[in-house]
Chain A
């Protein structure tokens, strides 16, 4: 391990750095956060709470929760599946698969949304067939779920792949020689080994699924109370000058984001602890 060298800068440099970063953080992070809660609570707590009884707001919260409840488990399952495939097996096209996983990250969310319009919209590839069978995907809840699935897919796989690569195949092979079945190996050996990394990936997936605006706005069609998730509804409220409601809903999302950050920090602590124990194991 390399020891961090202490840098001896003059005091005025330290003070300057401290102030510059302090001002930057205040202006760009703390101030907006405070503003959200201040604006939301400006007219008192009872009006603030009243916002959430508005049918449109309540519907938006419900739709967001529904989307998260569908997307997070699916992306968790396939994320683990693909990370497993990439790290435990050799097959042609592995590099391509690893690259394709990152596509939702690198592609603009608007384009991601348009992809679904091109596929499932009335003039899309499957449009006629879907219309004939009276199935609505675009401008309906399925479209929102699909778009969210797409943009929040990479997190679990991205988080697990390096971790599982580092862990190697030894534990699984040991379990295999001891007579364990594939199912037993996954539940008793692999899952306990990856649990912190997996939770971390789930939390990031959750955050992205809740917060997604671009892709969802393209496929949503903004049908109030039907296809408006929380971020979309905030946009609507704001556009109609209903600032108090917009900020109230925004404060809810901010609160969830803060919870996410705390959970993330806690998990990072556990992941670091696991890394450390792995290092110790290899050294001795």
Chain B
């Protein structure tokens, strides 16, 4: 029961965004796609969501081929970098949107929608904000609304594009711990894109390190820190700030230096 990405490639004109990428994401895990900007991580996320189509390769959701499935039929939750909240709707309406647009047959009744939305606002701790509009919320609050809106449709997978990118440093740290705890609570398979090493290490169960459209390494935070497979990974993770890694930092540097000498 996994999300399988097999040999996915994507070009934009002459630019190779993704070059033969394969990942297997176990159900219920939270995965970070980590890499410098332009490495193809967002493209991969958008391909999983169906917002882009791959030139080659296949996407399978739990055994079913999703490669040519329409976005609206994929049942993914997508959290955009700038949240993309509907500015003319209040928080309640924003979160209820995904339920309200369902075809009549599978649309929950008013009461069920109300209960669902209220459950979600309390999950994201915004109980008192249901009547506010997005412009009246702080960045962190908007981020949580975006998350609640995505969760409202009970997605099979939650996709987050630079979820903390637009927030200031303090809020960012709070929110990523909060996201980790939220995930421990609801266990929805999640994939998030980030260029921030600390963020990836702190939040995810495993990390996919990407560079120039290719995957450099896949592994748990400990694994990628302890044994980077190549100079790029070692260099990219060289200034991470993590207690777990601290006492092993010497080793990490050694590996790096060895590799540099090798070059």
Question: Counting CB contacts under 8 A, is B88 at the interface?
Answer: yes
Nearest CB in chain A: distance from B145 CB, A? 11
Report yes or no: B80 in contact with A174, Cβ–Cβ below 8 A.
Answer: yes
Count the B residues whose beta carbon is within 8 Å of the partner chain — how many? 33
Question: Counting CB contacts under 8 A, is B139 at the interface?
Answer: yes
- Partner pick for A177 among B76, B85, B134, B135, CB 8 A cutoff: B76
Report yes or no: A174 in contact with B84, Cβ–Cβ below 8 A.
Answer: yes
Report yes or no: B135 in contact with A281, Cβ–Cβ below 8 A.
Answer: yes
Stretch at the interface among A61-69, A72-80, A188-196, A231-239: A188-196
Stretch at the interface among A6-14, A38-46, A179-187: A179-187
A177 and B147 alpha carbons, distance in the complex (Å): 13
Nearest CB in chain B: distance from A50 CB, A? 49
Nearest CB in chain B: distance from A11 CB, A? 43
Report yes or no: A184 in contact with B101, Cβ–Cβ below 8 A.
Answer: yes
Question: Counting CB contacts under 8 A, is B49 at the interface?
Answer: yes
- Partner pick for A280 among B72, B84, B85, B135, CB 8 A cutoff: B135
Question: Counting CB contacts under 8 A, is B78 at the interface?
Answer: yes
Q: Contacts A178-B98, A179-B153, A188-B101 given; indicate if A173 touches B87 (C-beta within 8 A).
A: no
Question: Counting CB contacts under 8 A, is A175 at the interface?
Answer: yes
Report yes or no: B84 in contact with A284, Cβ–Cβ below 8 A.
Answer: no
The residue on B at minimum CB distance from A185 is B101
Q: Contacts A177-B49, A177-B76, A179-B102 given; indicate if A193 touches B97 (C-beta within 8 A).
A: no
In the complex, besides A177-B50, A181-B72, 16 extra interface pairs with C-beta distance below 8 angstroms are A170-B84, A173-B51, A174-B78, A176-B72, A177-B71, A178-B101, A178-B149, A178-B152, A179-B98, A179-B101, A180-B72, A181-B101, A184-B101, A188-B86, A281-B135, A284-B139
25 contacts between A and B (CB under 8 A): A170-B82, A171-B84, A173-B71, A173-B84, A174-B78, A174-B80, A176-B51, A176-B72, A177-B49, A177-B50, A177-B78, A177-B150, A178-B97, A178-B98, A179-B101, A181-B72, A188-B97, A277-B87, A278-B87, A280-B135, A281-B83, A281-B134, A281-B142, A282-B82, A284-B142
